[in-house]
Amino acid sequence: MKYRSEIDGLRAIAVLPVIFFHAGIGILSGGYVGVDVFFVISGFLITTIILSEIQQDSFSLANFYERRARRILPALFFVMLVSLPFAWMWLLPSDMKDFAKSLIAVSTFSSNILFWTETGYWEASSELKPMLHTWSLAVEEQYYIFFPLFLLIMWKIRKRWILSTVLLLALISLAASQWGAYNKPTANFFMLPTRLWELAIGALIALYLLKANTAFQPQKWVRETFGAIGLFMIAYAVFMFDETTPFPSVYTLVPTVGAGLVILFATSTTVVGRFLSTKLFVGVGLISYSIYLWHQPLLAFARHGSFDKPSTLVLFALVTLSIPLAYLSWRFIEKPFRTKGVFNRKQIFGLSATASAAFIAIGVSGVASNGFEQRAIQSNLTMDAIDKRWRVNAGLDLKCTETFNLSDECNTSDKPQIIIWGDSYAMHLVKGIMASKPDAKIIQMTKYVCGPFTNIAPIIEPHYPVGWAKECLDFNQQVQQWLVKNDSVKYAVLSSPFSQYLAEGSEVLLANGERAPANRALITKEFENTLEALVNIGIKPIVFSPPPANGINLGRCLTRADWKGKALDACNFNKDKMLDIRQTVYEFLDTIEDKYQVVRLDDYMCESQECNTHIDSTYLFRDEGHLSHEGTALLGKKYNFYETIVEKQIAERLITEPKLTDDTDEINRVKRVEVEAQLNKEGVVVLDALKTKKIEPESEVISNNKKQFERE
């Protein structure tokens, strides 16, 4: 097979966007498509090699797998080996256990399956996995196992059907990918069946060129035009796609077809071909595999080693460091092992089997020992203790997190007084309310990501598409209908991070079935409509804000501080580090607070300019923004969430404090109590407390809550 330097240049075009995307370079929002370009290149090269040798009657499975082993395993195993001491030093037991699982999975060509079962590619925790990037190697390795066998069988049975069969498989895979992007996005991302069509694009090009042989010689202007179009398509995907793009799906045709056009038309005689054949691109392309291997461990361990989020500049420097490291591993690991005169087939297979067995053994030991938890500086910080602090805070029961549910697990009384309504940020308040009053009569009506809006629902593609938004609308309308019929609920606690509605570029589904861009005015109007509807049926709404957040997994930060024997204060943060979207949400709540009671958790958790992530040894957070079980219980008890909601103490103060004989002083007394209690925002005035003097407080609480008082 003739060497094509422009394909090495295309490898550079593929790998650089990937590594800088993972470093958080915002302009390369679609840099992840570089992996898809790699798939097309692999499909083309592997098919060309296999069929060329089959035609010459020189193909051997042993030779093929030997070449793959030489190409892939030495550098991969070396990076895994170098990663081990850093994992030992910096990974928490749960992370170390996950890392140990990944050692087993990488050695058995199944890491894509592991990461599919563990987490989604786009989730924040994914950036902490040193071996996450090996999912794409597993996809290729699985392809290498099955595709040569397929070609051999088809060549013997009906070789003229190979092209049409590959095309059919590609179309089936693409259809599955399109369906999976909206229905099973995580499996869709990681698994071979929904990625096969990308490799098949390269295979189809190879099949066509082998069939056409020298007959494929398009005119120069055709080669120039389509080569340039192909490169433009890749660039368009790199700069215009982002994490919200359903992927892989028909959108993935843009970079993959683009890569195919470059392979097909951008030969060394074209402008694009000469551009890709420059020494810089070819040099980067030659070491692209090692660059890809190094970048993820460097980024992941930097994130593990820091209490703060590493800056973009630091991450940029690290991925830049992956280039010289890649050169060294290419020069002293890849090249020697790919040279048959240095290592023969028996040695290659023997060393590969030995290394695989060693990493599997280390992995099994790591899993069996709960991530070598004996490494902990704090003897009580076992994995079970960490899991307990990080466990999901779902409120009364996990059954109350997805659908409208009136089961006994989701309420504490047949006649609930308080409804908890919203998403996971409402769920995590339940334990706090119960801690402040263990016999509180509550009912929980919550659904993940689905905020308490009766007429709009967020659309967050690909994970929360229109179909899910309809379910969210139905859920909230069921809650509203139930409240209209219920006669025991007097208070509604509503909460959400609200970021899914207020973030830039957010979309919502309206009750009439239309999609609309979200904006502050629309969200404010719809939320006030929801709150007003509650008031109209005699229920007092109380809105709890989300806790302060700075974008760091604070539960993990606190655990890491404990692990390293550091002060938990290392995880506290200044208000000027608050996430922009959290500030936006607080500003949104400021407008709501003019008419309705809003409880600001940042007032409880931030002193002066510093926001606390713990109180004494109790972690307040379990992750980036959710309160832990212990944290919400402590806050709930300390700040009496229940009394904040029902205002019993305020009413008792008005009744029991001595009345003054002077009317002016008495008016001032009532006003003072009102101001102290922030009655216009938080209070429910008991009318009898004021009737003795016929005093009307300055706030509009009485007039706005007539039906509430009638219920009382």
Q: Is the dihedral of CA 533, 539, 540, 546 positive or negative?
A: negative
Above 90 in pLDDT, residue 3?
no
- What pLDDT was estimated at residue 711? 45
Average pLDDT for 85-101:
93
Above 50 in pLDDT, residue 706?
no
Structure tokens at 125: 């925790």
Of 376 and 419, more confident: 419
Nearest-angstrom CA–CA distance, 524 and 587: 11
Average pLDDT for 73-92:
95
How distant is the alpha carbon of residue 590 from its chain centre? 29
Nearest-angstrom CA–CA distance, 255 and 258: 5
Q: How confident is the model at residue 165 (pLDDT cuts 50, 70, 90)?
A: very high
Above 70 in pLDDT, residue 680?
no
Q: How confident is the model at residue 211 (pLDDT cuts 50, 70, 90)?
A: confident
Q: How confident is the model at residue 218 (pLDDT cuts 50, 70, 90)?
A: confident
Average pLDDT for 402-414:
94
- What pLDDT was estimated at residue 158? 87
Helices and strands (H, E) in the chain, number of each type? 34, 13
- 3-state DSSP helix/strand/coil percent for the chain, to nearest 5? 65, 5, 30
Of 400 and 711, more confident: 400
- Which residues neighbour 161 within 8 Å (Cβ) at sequence distance 6 or greater? 154
Average pLDDT for 512-523:
94
- The closest alpha carbon to 528, from 600, 581, 454, belongs to 454
Above 50 in pLDDT, residue 690?
no
Torsion of CA 463, 466, 470, 473, to 10 degrees: 80
Q: How confident is the model at residue 248 (pLDDT cuts 50, 70, 90)?
A: very high
Above 60 in pLDDT, residue 356?
yes
- What pLDDT was estimated at residue 182? 86
Most confidently predicted of 12-26, 301-315, 692-706: 12-26
Above 60 in pLDDT, residue 15?
yes
Of 395 and 705, more confident: 395
Q: How confident is the model at residue 681 (pLDDT cuts 50, 70, 90)?
A: very low
Nearest-angstrom CA–CA distance, 214 and 7: 19
Q: Count Cβ atoms below 10 Å from residue 336 Cβ, excluding itself.
A: 13
Q: With 0-12 CB in 10 A as exposed, 13-18 as middle and 19+ as buried, what is 639?
A: middle
pLDDT in tens, 272-328: 999 999 999 999 999 999 999 999 999 999 999 888 888 889 999 999 999 999 999
Structure tokens at 469: 């938004």
Q: DSSP code of 404?
A: -
Q: How confident is the model at residue 682 (pLDDT cuts 50, 70, 90)?
A: very low
Q: Where are the domains of the chain?
A: 5-374, 398-552+579-608, 648-711
Q: Tell me how far apart the terminal alpha carbons of the chain are, to the nearest angstrom.
A: 87
Q: DSSP code of 460?
A: B
Nearest-angstrom CA–CA distance, 535 and 631: 31
Percent of the chain past pLDDT 90, that is, above it, reads: 76
8 A C-beta contact, residue 148 and residue 156:
no
> Parallel, antiparallel, or unpaired for β 491-495 and 610-611?
unpaired
Of 209 and 693, more confident: 209
Above 50 in pLDDT, residue 709?
no
The domain made up of 398-552+579-608 is a member of CATH 3.30.1360.200? no
Nearest-angstrom CA–CA distance, 472 and 460: 12
Average pLDDT for 666-674:
57
- Residue 610: which H helix or E strand, with range? strand 610-611
- What pLDDT was estimated at residue 378? 60
- What pLDDT was estimated at residue 688? 41
Say whether 40 sits in a helix, a strand or coil. Answer: helix
Nearest-angstrom CA–CA distance, 149 and 600: 63
Above 80 in pLDDT, residue 692?
no
Q: Which residues of 525-542 are buried (b: 16+ CB within 10 A; e: fewer)?
A: ebbeebbebbbebbbbbb
> Parallel, antiparallel, or unpaired for β 515-517 and 540-544?
unpaired
- DSSP string across 8-65: HHHHHHHHHHHHHHHTT-GGGTTGGGHHHHHHHHHHHHHHHHHHHHHHTT---HHHHH
Of 55 and 75, more confident: 75
pLDDT in tens, 23-67: 988 899 999 999 999 999 999 999 999 999 998 999 999 999 999
Above 60 in pLDDT, residue 540?
yes
pLDDT in tens, 313-331: 999 999 999 999 999 999 9
How many C-alpha atoms does 145 have within 13 Å on its Cβ side? 9
- What pLDDT was estimated at residue 508? 96
Above 50 in pLDDT, residue 694?
no
Chain length of the chain: 712
238-247, 350-359, 662-671: which has the minimum mean pLDDT? 662-671
Nearest-angstrom CA–CA distance, 319 and 298: 7
pLDDT in tens, 555-605: 999 999 988 888 999 999 999 999 999 999 999 999 999 899 999 999 999
- Which residues neighbour 285 within 8 Å (Cβ) at sequence distance 6 or greater? 7, 8, 9, 10, 11, 12, 15
8 A C-beta contact, residue 691 and residue 674:
no
- The closest alpha carbon to 44, from 136, 192, 133, 166, belongs to 166
Nearest-angstrom CA–CA distance, 333 and 81: 13
Percent of the chain past pLDDT 70, that is, above it, reads: 89
Mean pLDDT for all residues in the chain: 89
